[in-house]
Amino acid sequence: MTVTRPRAATLSLRSRIRLLTVSVAALAVAICSFVIYMVTEDALRAQLSDRVGRDADKLIASDSSGLSPAVFGFAAGPRAGRYLQVGIVSADGDVYSASGSFTPFASADGELEPVVASVVAGESDRVVTDLNGYAVAIEKAPSGSTVLVGESYRSLDGVMSGLLLIFVTVGGALVVLAGLSGYLVARTGLRPVGRLTRATRRITETGDLSPVAVVGDDELAHLADRFNDMLAALQRSRLAQNHLIVDAGTELLAPLTALRTNIELLIEIGDPDRAPAVPLDQDAVDQLRRDIVDQLDEVARRIHRLVDEAREAHTRDG
């Protein structure tokens, strides 16, 4: 019987386990990093919106009291100009900007954005929203002027870049650790499979049917038990074959010896140069021939019986 083997896999089972472990770890790290990154970004954007709202409140308090904005805790610091934009629309409609730029409150042609114009027109008292890449707070002052505070989301780039670098570094370390863990798991978990492989190679090369060592009580240990059961069955089959050979030799030795003796005697009778010392009459020769036929029948019967016994033994072992 010819067994057709499927196309061999390009990777060993141990390598596939390591690859699967690394892939799952990398996917988990990527998903977690993405989720944390998005949640962190949303939280920072919310903090930025809250901060520009508080800055607008401080400027309103300064406008109402005539005191410096610093008195109320407003300090632009390094944010001014680069990320922070502060403006005011007077009650007469004149627009002023601390940096000279009206971004993000007005378009390139100087026209106020609709959301800013709505607060200036008195349609709402306070709006905090996203506008042209800025978190913007627009608030109506008691004096009739409108305070504009905007901070660019680019101010978060440094924090998000640092967070991304942390994710890449930690994620890479976790993937490497997962690869090492996969290697250790594969080496430890597949050790029983290695023992079975070495046992099959030993059986093929030497015919030694000694059982393999069984360690643990898991599925691989049960597989080793079944493998040992198979080896025991093969050992019993081999012993049965040896017994059959011994029995066949014992059963056939005597009739074959007698048959050979009678055939040699019959040959001597027919050969004038090898005539027997005691001449045999025709009746004795005929009896000798009948004995030979009977002995052949006896040999055939014994062979058939041995074949039947071997077939029954094979059926029991199977």
Are 185 and 230 in the same domain?
no
Burial of 141 (0-12, 13-18, 19+ CB in 10 A): buried
- Is the CB of residue 106 less than 8 Å from the CB of residue 113? yes
- Identify whether residues 107 and 67 lie together within a single domain: yes
**Residue 198 falls within a domain, yes or no?**
no
Q: Given this model, what pLDDT does residue 80 score? A: 56
pLDDT value, residue 274: 59
Within-domain flag for 5: no
Residues paired with 150 in a beta bridge: 85, 136
Determine, yes or no, domain membership for 194. Answer: no
How are beta strands 95-97 and 126-131 bridged, if at all? Answer: unpaired
Residues 33 and 175 grouped into a single domain: yes
Same-domain pairing of 81 and 132 = yes
Residue 76: predicted pLDDT: 52
Q: Are residues 35 and 181 in the same domain?
A: yes
CB atoms within 10 A of CB 59: 22
C-alpha 132, offset from chain centre: 45
Q: Does 15 share its domain with 161?
A: yes
Quote the pLDDT of residue 46.
94
Is 199 domain-assigned? no
78 and 160 share a domain? yes
Please state the domain count of the chain. 2
Instruction: Say whether 17 sits in a helix, a strand or coil.
Output: helix
Contact 212, 224 (CB under 8 A): yes
Give CA–CA dist 146/89, Å, rounded: 5
In the 8-state DSSP scheme, what is residue 11? S
Q: Is residue 38 part of a domain?
A: yes
In a domain, 307, yes or no: yes
Measure the CA–CA gap between 180 and 80, rounded to whole angstroms. Answer: 49
Same domain, 76 and 162: yes
The SS3 assignment for 149 reads: strand
Which residue segment(s) compose the domain that 29 sits in?
10-189
| SS3 track for 91-137 | CCCCEEECCCCCCCCECCCCCECHHHHHHHCCCCCEEEEEECCEEEE
Tokens of 57: 């409140």
Are 226 and 108 in a shared domain?
no
Full pLDDT tens readout for the chain, 318 residues: 444 555 555 777 778 888 888 899 899 999 999 999 999 999 999 999 999 998 888 888 876 655 455 444 455 555 555 788 888 888 888 888 877 778 888 887 778 889 999 998 888 889 999 999 999 999 998 888 899 999 999 989 989 999 999 999 999 999 999 889 888 888 887 777 777 788 888 888 887 788 877 777 777 778 788 888 888 888 887 887 787 778 777 777 878 888 888 888 777 776 666 555 556 677 777 787 888 888 888 888 888 887 777 777 666 655
Assess whether 26 and 95 both reside in one domain.
yes
Q: Which residue, 189, 223, 255, sits at the end of a domain? A: 189
Let me know whether 278 and 160 are in one domain. Answer: no
Does some domain include residue 4? Answer: no
